[in-house]
Amino acid sequence: MSGFPSFSYRNGRLCGESVELDRIAREFGTPCYIYSRAALTAAYREFDAAFGARDHLVCYAVKANSNLAILNLFARLGSGFDIVSGGELQRVLKAGGDPKKVVFSGIGKRPEEMRAALDAGILCFNVESEAELRVLNQVAGEMNKIAPVSLRVNPDVDARTHPYISTGLKENKFGIPFDEAESLYVSSHEFSNICITGLDCHIGSQLTELNPFIESCKKMLRLLDRLEAQGLQIDHLDLGGGLGIRYSGENPPLVREYVDVLCAEVGQRKQRILIEPGRALVGNAGILLTRIEYLKHTPHRDFAIVDAAMNDLMRPALYDAYHEILPVITENDIGAKTYQVVGPVCETGDFLGHDRNLALRQGDLLAIMSTGAYGMSMSSNYNTRPRAAEVMIDGDHVHLIRERESIEQLTAGEKILP
Ligand code: LLP
């Protein structure tokens, strides 16, 4: 249970902070994402404090969970933000985030997204190709603005994570090839509406070892030294996100260990350090609450059919990801069985957990753990299923932070032919 400090059992009932989760199911229904304000706050403070007096900016990767209440909470704590779309920019601004603390990543920024970010006055564009640099230069020129830029460099380092979420290998679509970065930096003065301010990389997500971070940091610093020797002024070093969390058996580095090695590598250099953590800030601060609709016993397998599905939590179907599944109320009077915990969606890939040893009854509540990151933000309406509600626990209060969607909302934009 050490991975989920804000969710623990009291008298046989699973609680978030001091709130019993069955109370939340009664009040807000299921499926429902539940977050802990205390856990989110503690996670942010842990990152921030680990840098000590060193000049730094933690830029929360909005894609991990973009609910306005979560963005607002981080903004109040002083966080910056890593965005990948105009939509995420609007969310950050709406949530009270400071545009001067926003970095804009992503390989396919559209001109209108660049315009919105230039209008807002963001801290930096993390540019991923020469073609993008040209378009940004043109857009900024049309607006009589200078765009602050880091080039996102692909350091060709194996993050040793799931292939779908590894981003820093030379065959990945991300970043500027390491060997081409220096010449693009040096030629950047040809772009009159671009101002180089930083150097950026990101090698992948759910990293459970420090070595890939160290390896890419060393490569980036060698490049930094060469750029400075050529007279370029680099104000910040953006070292990406990617620190893993514990879903079950993993033993990822502690936040302090991770930040310590980055700071040690950067050493006495004067650059401000930026990092872009997503999962490590929100992953274990959230769970997905679901109710068992039916138990189905076949000669081959026992199924628990729950009211959450792959549209609510895509990670098991997409990455074969493992999430702990816990009963909300522990039952002592029924025997445990090995269950396939599945959703109602019409696909065999719609599962939340395989082969889980659980003692279950129809109508029981289950908590899918560690779903604060890439849960709601990757949800869909597949099978015309309205998206789940989201609530935030704050001590003994529970705030609704996103209403459950209605079917009317789902069809609102659709038109029948005349
Ligand atoms: N910065 C950039 C440029 C990124 O591409 C990402 C994640 C992050 C920061 C944040 O990485 P984190 O600290 O969360 O690892 N949907 C997948 C994860 C995709 C991550 C993509 N990029 C999952 O559910 O595991």
pLDDT digits (tens, 9 = 90+) for 216-267: 999 999 999 999 999 999 999 999 999 999 999 999 999 999 999 999 999 9
Instruction: Write the CATH number for 232.
Output: 3.20.20.10
pLDDT of residue 4: 67
Residue 2 falls inside a structural domain:
no
Residues 385 and 300 reside in one and the same domain:
yes
Residue 252 falls inside a structural domain:
yes
For the chain, the residue count is 418
Instruction: Write the CATH number for 385.
Output: 2.40.37.10
What's the mean pLDDT in 61-78?
98
Give the three-state DSSP class for 100.
helix
Atom in ligand 1 nearest the alpha carbon of residue 162:
25
- For residue 366, list its beta bridge partners: 290, 327
Tell me which residue range forms the domain holding 232: 105-277
Residue 55 falls inside a structural domain:
no
Residues 115 and 247 reside in one and the same domain:
yes
Q: Which residue has the tokens 């009932």?
A: 13
Residues 311 and 191 reside in one and the same domain:
no
Phi, psi of 294 (to 5 degrees): -145, 150
Number of domains in the chain: 2
Does ligand 1 come within 6 angstroms of the Cβ of 83? no
Does ligand 1 come within 6 angstroms of the Cβ of 64? yes
> What's the pTM value of the predicted model, to 2 decimals?
0.97
Residues 399 and 333 reside in one and the same domain:
yes
Does ligand 1 come within 6 angstroms of the Cβ of 283? no
Residue 46 falls inside a structural domain:
no
Please give the structure tokens belonging to residue 396: 């003994």
pLDDT of residue 172: 86
CB 386 within 8 A of CB 353: no
Give the three-state DSSP class for 46.
helix
Residues 287 and 272 reside in one and the same domain:
no
What residues are labeled active site? Answer: 346
Does ligand 1 come within 6 angstroms of the Cβ of 106? no
Res. 354: pLDDT tops 50: yes
Residues 269 and 323 reside in one and the same domain:
no
Does ligand 1 come within 6 angstroms of the Cβ of 242? yes
Which mutation among 58, 70, 85, 205 tests ligand 1's pocket best, with the greatest number of atoms within 8 A of CB?
Answer: 205
What's the mean pLDDT in 183-207?
96
Res. 117: pLDDT tops 80: yes
Give the three-state DSSP class for 94.
helix
State the average pLDDT for the chain: 96
Residues 267 and 287 reside in one and the same domain:
no
Per-residue confidence band for 1, with pLDDT thresholds at 50, 70 and 90: very low
Res. 2: pLDDT tops 60: no
pLDDT of residue 5: 74
Decide which of 232, 256, 277 is a domain's last residue.
277
Write out pLDDT tens, residues 7-48: 999 999 999 999 999 999 999 999 999 999 999 999 999 999
Residue 89 falls inside a structural domain:
no
CB 58 within 8 A of CB 48: yes
Q: Which residue has the tokens 């545009």?
A: 99
Residue 319 falls inside a structural domain:
yes
Residue 307 falls inside a structural domain:
yes
Write out pLDDT tens, residues 296-338: 999 999 999 999 999 999 999 999 999 999 999 997 789 999 9
Decide which of 219, 246, 277 is a domain's last residue.
277
Does ligand 1 come within 6 angstroms of the Cβ of 202? yes
Cα(276) to centroid of ligand 1, in Å?
Answer: 9
Decide which of 242, 277, 312 is a domain's last residue.
277
Residues 111 and 251 reside in one and the same domain:
yes
pLDDT > 90: percent of the chain: 93
Residues 318 and 372 reside in one and the same domain:
yes
Per-residue confidence band for 160, with pLDDT thresholds at 50, 70 and 90: confident
pLDDT of residue 266: 97
Residue 69 falls inside a structural domain:
no
Residues 363 and 265 reside in one and the same domain:
no
Atom in ligand 1 nearest the alpha carbon of residue 207:
15
Res. 3: pLDDT tops 60: no
Residues 260 and 289 reside in one and the same domain:
no
Residues 238 and 178 reside in one and the same domain:
yes
Q: Which residue has the tokens 């070595």?
A: 211
Q: Side-chain half-sphere of 405: how many Cα atoms within 13 Å?
A: 17
Nearest CA to ligand 1 atom 9: 241
Cα(12) to centroid of ligand 1, in Å?
Answer: 35
What's the mean pLDDT in 51-55?
97
Nearest CA to ligand 1 atom 6: 241
